[in-house]
Amino acid sequence: MDALIEYSPSLLAGAWVTLKVAILSLLLAVSTGLFGAACKLSKIAPLRWWTALYTTVVRGVPDLVMMLLVFYGGQVLLNQVSDRLEWEMIELNAFAAGVLTIGFIFGAYFTETFRGAFQAVPVGQMEAGRAYGMSGWQVFWRILFPQMLRYALPGMGNNWLVLLKSTAIVSMIGLSDMTWLADQAGRTTHQPFAFYLAVCVLYLAMTSVSNAVFQRLERRYNVGVREANV
Amino acid sequence: MEWFDLTVVTGSLPEFWRGLWMTLQLTAIALVVGFAFAVPLSIARVSKNPWMSAPVRAYTYFFRGTPMLVQLLLVYYGVGQSEWIQGMWETGNPFWLLFRDAYFCALVAFSLNTCAYQLEMFAGAIRNTPHGEVEAATAMGMTRATALRRIILPSALRRALPPLSNEVILMLQGSAIASAVTLVDLTGAARNVYSRHYAPFEAFIFAGLLYLAVTFILVGLFRVAENRWLAHLQPRRSASAQKD
């Protein structure tokens, strides 16, 4: 217990790293997902093929393998570039590699979530917007997007929880997130059990808070939708 | 291609096969063990008696709310290095000695994890059993246990097939973290090949392709299973569609 108290500032710093990785990856994944959904629903066939390839490959390859590929492969590419330009060696940052990989992977999951949500909005809604004389952008921003969000929120909440938990693998490329720090502290103090358990508690706290936030958001975006009383 | 040297892959094929075999073993055993515990626990989960459902709920809350990597480290380094367990090792009790073995620890962590996910899926499917099925069973004079065994479980497990196929694929991908506890699974083999040849593209792209191939096979198998056991839930085909 004393060891836990002694190392708690370090663990909390690690929790902050975990949160930063998760939130930045989320931003990347949501924007990739919106773009991907647009491509999947586009009329241009090659765009649809490429997005289909992207979502298939991401779901078939483990996140860890992709992260190792980006981290070690990216370093090799960077070395070649810096050699050719006769720069000094640039070290690929584990943080950047982690955020890029997780954002890329979850971009595929958000693509599917958004695609389904866009398709769930009745076409009549868009037609009504047009009939009121709104421009294409106005129809998207005022009609399609807010309604799409209602359908997308449950899937987004789910994706976020999976994303948050998958940040733990950044510790395997040496980023000092809370899992990595718990590993170090556990080795030094010979009390790994207590430290890993503390990490579990921190993750549980994060997932529970996220659940509460998503429940509130869902209530907000479901205003005006009648629920069936069973 | 300068950046992709095929001889690195061909030279390490036996290593990749051994790793793949380890990955398949870990995934399959964990899924089967998890399934065996998930079915009875899912019945406890939907029980109206809080003494039955609350402990199961706490278990799934913990295992679904934390990363599997941390669970694996907790079992391997955490349990194995606690003084109490080390005391048990000195007594020579064979069960506790198992916790020294990375393979056993990985199986324990993976099974506990997948069991938590599977049991929530089954519990959801049991809750969604159509009223009429249960009423018909009661009307036929079945006891609760018989209705559970003959009607509710077979119906719920079939409807749980699509989410189960998802979980099987997630477990295959998730098992890649086994290399964190010294096991040489497919990812572990790729890491070894990488560090020996300093060839990240060859090692990780080839491993990724193997994972992709296994995923495709699994998806195909589940499609066959769904056609067989979920045929009664599929939309009825129109006469024109039946011809082809």
Smallest Cβ–Cβ distance between A168 and the set B67, B79, B172 belongs to B67
Report the pLDDT averaged over residues A115-139.
91
Neighbours of A1 (CB within 10 A): 7
**DSSP summary character for residue A139:** I
pLDDT band for position B164 (cuts 50, 70, 90): very high
Report the pLDDT averaged over residues A11-18.
92
**In the predicted model, is pLDDT for residue A131 greater than 70?**
yes
For chain A, percent of residues with pLDDT exceeding 90: 63
Neighbours of A205 (CB within 10 A): 12
If we measure between CA atoms, which residue out of A60, A167, A154 comes closest to residue A108? A60
What is the pLDDT, as a whole number, of residue A205?
95
What is the pLDDT, as a whole number, of residue A225?
73
**In the predicted model, is pLDDT for residue B34 greater than 50?**
yes
What is the pLDDT, as a whole number, of residue A228?
58
- The CA distance from B177 to A50, in Å, is 29
What is the pLDDT, as a whole number, of residue A84?
84
Could B200 and A62 be called an inter-chain contact, meaning their C-beta atoms sit closer than 8 Å? no
How far is the CA of B174 from the CAs of A18, A87, B71, B113, B190, in angstroms? Answer: 19, 39, 12, 10, 16
Report the pLDDT averaged over residues A134-148.
90
pLDDT band for position B93 (cuts 50, 70, 90): confident
What integer best gives the mean pLDDT of chain B? Answer: 89
**In the predicted model, is pLDDT for residue A224 greater than 80?**
no
**In the predicted model, is pLDDT for residue A182 greater than 50?**
yes
What is the pLDDT, as a whole number, of residue A1?
66
What residues contact B228, with CB distance under 8 A and at least 6 apart? none
If we measure between CA atoms, which residue out of A51, A8, A60, A32 comes closest to residue A181? A8
Residue type, A32: T
**DSSP summary character for residue A61:** S
Could A68 and B70 be called an inter-chain contact, meaning their C-beta atoms sit closer than 8 Å? no
Burial class (CB in 10 A: 0-12, 13-18, 19+), B64: middle
What is the pLDDT, as a whole number, of residue A85?
83
Helix (H) or strand (E) holding A208: helix A192-221
Q: Which residue has the higher pLDDT, A105 or A78?
A: A105
**In the predicted model, is pLDDT for residue B244 greater than 50?**
no
Could A61 and B212 be called an inter-chain contact, meaning their C-beta atoms sit closer than 8 Å? yes
Could A196 and B215 be called an inter-chain contact, meaning their C-beta atoms sit closer than 8 Å? no
Nearest CA in chain A to B172: A62
Task: Say which residue the tokens 């792209």 belong to.
Answer: B205
Smallest Cβ–Cβ distance between B79 and the set A75, A166, A193 belongs to A193
Report the pLDDT averaged over residues A42-50.
92
pLDDT band for position A134 (cuts 50, 70, 90): very high
**In the predicted model, is pLDDT for residue A81 greater than 80?**
yes
Smallest Cβ–Cβ distance between B177 and the set A59, A64, A73 belongs to A64
Q: Which residue has the higher pLDDT, B38 or A86?
A: B38
Say whether residue A38 is in contact with chain B using an 8 A CB cutoff: no
**In the predicted model, is pLDDT for residue B127 greater than 60?**
yes
For chain A, the straight-line distance linking the first and the last C-alpha, in angstroms and rounded, comes to 49
Say whether residue A167 is in contact with chain B using an 8 A CB cutoff: yes
User: What single string gives the DSSP state of each residue in chain B?
Assistant: --S--HHHHHHTHHHHHHHHHHHHHHHHHHHHHHHHHHHHHHHHHT-S-HHHHHHHHHHHHHHHHS-HHHHHHIIIIIIHTSHHHHHHHHHT-HHHHGGG-HHHHHHHHHHHHHHHHHHHHHHHHHHTS-HHHHHHHHHTT--HHHHIIIIIHHHHHHHTHHHHHHHHHHHHHHGGGGGGGT---HHHHHHHHHHHHT-HHHHHHHHHHHHHHHHHHHHHHHHHHHHHHSGGGSPPPPHHHH--
Burial class (CB in 10 A: 0-12, 13-18, 19+), B57: middle
Cβ-contact B71, B113 below 8 angstroms = yes
Could B187 and A64 be called an inter-chain contact, meaning their C-beta atoms sit closer than 8 Å? yes
What integer best gives the mean pLDDT of chain A? Answer: 90
Residues in chain B: 244
Q: Which residue has the higher pLDDT, B239 or B94?
A: B94
**Both tokens assigned to A125:** 């809604």
Neighbours of A122 (CB within 10 A): 9
If we measure between CA atoms, which residue out of A60, A109, A49 comes closest to residue B213? A60
**In the predicted model, is pLDDT for residue B240 greater than 60?**
no
Query: What ipTM does this complex have?
Result: 0.88
What is the pLDDT, as a whole number, of residue B239?
56
- The CA distance from B155 to B126, in Å, is 8
- Return residues 42-101 of A near B (CB < 8 Å): 57, 59-66, 68-69, 72-73, 75-76
- The CA distance from A50 to A111, in Å, is 12
Q: How many CA atoms lie within 13 A of B52 on its CB side?
A: 10
Smallest Cβ–Cβ distance between A76 and the set B66, B74, B200 belongs to B200
Residue type, B123: A
Mutation target to probe the A interface, by most A beta carbons within 10 A, among B27, B57, B77 is B77
Distance of alpha carbon B9 from the chain centroid? 29
What is the pLDDT, as a whole number, of residue B89?
72
If interface means Cβ-Cβ distance under 8 Å, which residues of chain B face chain A? 3, 61-62, 65-71, 73-74, 77-79, 81-82, 169, 172-177, 179-180, 187, 190-191, 194, 198, 200-201, 204-205, 207-208, 211-212, 215-216
- The CA distance from B128 to B134, in Å, is 11
Smallest Cβ–Cβ distance between B65 and the set A73, A190, A204 belongs to A204
Distant-in-sequence contacts of B144-148, Cβ < 8 A, 24+ apart: B148/B43
Could A61 and B191 be called an inter-chain contact, meaning their C-beta atoms sit closer than 8 Å? no
Could A192 and B73 be called an inter-chain contact, meaning their C-beta atoms sit closer than 8 Å? yes
- The CA distance from A164 to A207, in Å, is 8
- SS3 (DSSP) at A57: helix
**In the predicted model, is pLDDT for residue A230 greater than 80?**
no
**DSSP summary character for residue A168:** G
What is the pLDDT, as a whole number, of residue A227?
62
**In the predicted model, is pLDDT for residue B10 greater than 90?**
no
Enumerate the residues of chain B whose CB falls inside 8 A of the CB of residue A76: 3, 198, 200-201
Task: Say which residue the tokens 């490329």 belong to.
Answer: A173
Least confident of B90-94, B109-113, B170-174, B223-227: B90-94
Nearest CA in chain B to A183: B73
Could A186 and B65 be called an inter-chain contact, meaning their C-beta atoms sit closer than 8 Å? no
